[in-house]
Structure 1
Amino acid sequence: MFDLQIPPDPAQEPPVAALQAPAWDLTVGLIAATVQLDQRNGERPTRRVGTGFLIDAPRPDGQPRTVLVTAHHVLNGMPDPDARIGWRVEMPGGGWKFAPEPLRIRHENGDAAWVRHPERDIAVMEVSAPPTFARAAIPLGWLADGAALDAWQVGPGDELLTLGYPHGYSSNTAGFPILRVGRVSSWPLTPIESFPVFLLDFPVFPGNSGGPVFWTPSARKLPGSVQPAHPFIAGVLVSEVRPGDDPVGIGIVAHAVYVREAIALLDAPAGP
């Protein structure tokens, strides 16, 4: 988590042209499901910024539920009870407007309103999302499980895409995230129990933490490797490789299986 100078607020800018795309395109689908999270640093002209994305994760009884996924340190680094979540509203004529709203992230006693994975920098929490965002939430089944990367021969040199808000900036005044690409730069990736994170070759900036890392057919794979049966989310960007004060342009990604495990904890019985 970093303190950032606040760029111009998209809420004060004119809306942009509508974003149209087929529902099956996970790239555009994840853009629609990705949101900015931020909180002001008291009276200072800075804010803490991170990225989150929405998963459609029904309760065990089948009732619908929208879950926000991000890095634990994004929410943990925001001390106030309310953060801000960057909803977007489609306007008449096809434009969009940035329409952030408060998001309660801490209970009255100061305890976290989110659930943290016990071992990884992953946080999830149920949110009351506007209908447009509830429909845009990515199906739980698109989160890669423990066997997916081996089955689809994902390895060094393969491209993966990621979404985020580097330095608090969005791709336009409507608050849509910025899409970037990197290559898998570590080996082996599995078994996940031994290698819980993997590396992605792309520069990481403040504001990227918590963003989804995913594959679609628009991302290149090495010749001769298996083409996945469908797009999938490979993991969550949680940090960067930074020896000392010098960044090296490599992101650290926690496997998506930990998102699945964290969501399962939402339904676990409360402790004594």
Structure 2
Amino acid sequence: MLAYQTPPAVEAPAPPQAPAAVARHWDLTVGLINATVQLDQPTGAETRTVGTGFLIDAPKPDGTPRIVMVTAGHVLEKMPDPDMRVGWRIAQADGSWKFDPQPLEIRNEAGTPLWTTLEGRDVAVMAVEVPETFARAAIPLAWLADAETFDALDVGPGDELLALGFPRGLSSNRAGFPILRVGRVASYPLTPVSAFPTFLMDFTVFPGNSGGPIFWTPTARRRPGATEPEHPFIAGMLSQEVIVGTERLELGVVVQAQYIREAIALLDRAP
């Protein structure tokens, strides 16, 4: 029987119909690379819990600027200490980058989590103060798919999607940038979202990938005959891998982006 298993701890409206010029010059791949960070918390002298987070530019209802960090709920739940480390990156004058992890409070003095979750969904969001370069890199809320996006853009099984993360806590270089992967949608049907809140993606998942963004850009291939969308979009967030018994099936479980939207909406209703 198929079972989903959480990786072990090492670890709005539809996207806007952007003008063609904006769609061409706004590269979501590079944008999301810049907006994706490693999250970790030491669990021993040489061990740590690792996950992935990404930043969304989600202003408050009154227009006040706000940056929201998105990750998998189980990533934060597996971090018992009040602070985690966020792997910020700093551009240097010579063109190089410096990896600069800094603490971020995730629980208050009473031990109460500072993040917000959506019941029944492995999604966690929290408003965060970030370095200015990361505030500029945060992805606009409108680029998150909603409940109608997959139907409107004819997304289906076999379409390629891209993923960013830190498998086994590894980054693509010493600067701490995430590793880019590609896989194919392995589920059918994908809608309605209310009936199918997650979908499967055919690629190998490792501890540390949890919480990473899953997205489409024109660099990803589509099924023959499918209409290519005019703009990129974030399809969801990687939650976990599929395991049957002790066998890893090289499939990832993706939470649909609509539920990231709903989790962020809960922030707006918080006292």
TM-score (norm 2): 0.91
Are residues 1:105 and 2:111 paired?
A: no
- Is residue 205 of structure 1 aligned with residue 185 of structure 2? no
On the 8 A contact 1:2/1:49 being kept in 2, the answer is no
Larger relative contact order (CA 8 Å, sep ≥ 6):
2
Question: For residues 67-106 of structure 1, what are the alpha-carbon distances to aligned partners after superposition, in whole Å with 9 as ceiling and x for unaligned?
Answer: 0000000001100000000000000111101001001000
Aligned twin of 1:54: 55
Residue 34 (structure 1) aligns with: 36
Higher relative strand content: 2
Deviations 1:201-248 (A, max 9, x none): 000000000000000000000121121120000000001110111100
1:267 offset after TM fit, Å?
1.1
Give the TM-score taking structure 1 as reference length. Answer: 0.91
Separation (CA, whole Å) in 2 of partners of 1:182 and 1:154: 14
Residue type at the aligned position of 2:262: E
1:122-170 deviations in Å (ceiling 9; x for gaps): 0000110000000000000000010000111111100000000000000
Judge conservation of contact 1:142–1:233 (CA < 8 Å) in 2: yes
Structure 1 position 55, deviation (Å): 0.1
- The verdict on how the C-alpha distance between 1:269 and 1:98 changes in structure 2, with shifts beyond 3 A counting, is closer
SS at match of 2:134: helix
1:116, distance to aligned residue in structure 2 (A): 0.4
Equivalences for 1:209-224 in 2 at 5 Å?
209-224=210-225
Extract structure 1 runs of 4+ deviating beyond 4 A: none
Q: Which runs of 5+ in 2 are unaligned?
A: 1-6, 12-23
Structure 2 CA distance for partners of 1:152 and 1:116, relative to 1, 3 Å:
same
Kindly state the Cα deviation for residue 23 of structure 1 after the two structures are TM-superposed: 6.0
CA distance in 2, matches of 1:213, 1:93: 32
Unmatched 5+ residue regions in structure 1? 6-21
Percent sequence identity over aligned pairs = 63
Shift of 1:45: 1.3
From the superposition, tell whether residues 179 and 269 of structure 1 become closer, same or farther in structure 2 (CA, over 3 Å). closer
Structure 2 counterpart of 1:260, one-letter code: R
Q: Given residue 33 of structure 1, which amino acid in structure 2 is its aligned partner? A: A
CA distance in 1, matches of 2:166, 2:105: 21
Give 1:210's aligned amino acid.
G
The amino acid of 1:200's aligned partner reads: M
CA contact (8 A) 1:236 1:256 kept: yes
What's the counterpart of residue 257 of structure 1?
258
Which residue number in structure 2 is paired with residue 67 of structure 1? Answer: 68
Aligned partners of 2:55 and 2:68 also within 8 Å: yes
Q: CA deviation at 1:4?
A: 3.6
**Structure 2 CA distance for aligned equivalents of residues 44 and 172 of structure 1:** 23
Contact 1:2 1:207 in 2 (8 A): no
CA distance in 2, matches of 1:178, 1:23: 22
Asked if 1:2 is matched to 2:3, the reply is no
Distance 2:168 2:184 in 1: 22
Kindly tell me the number of residue pairs found equivalent between the two proteins: 253
2:167 alignment partner in structure 1: 166
Query: Does structure 1 retain, via aligned residues, the 8 Å contact 2:9–2:78?
Result: no
Separation in 1, partners of 2:172, 2:240: 21
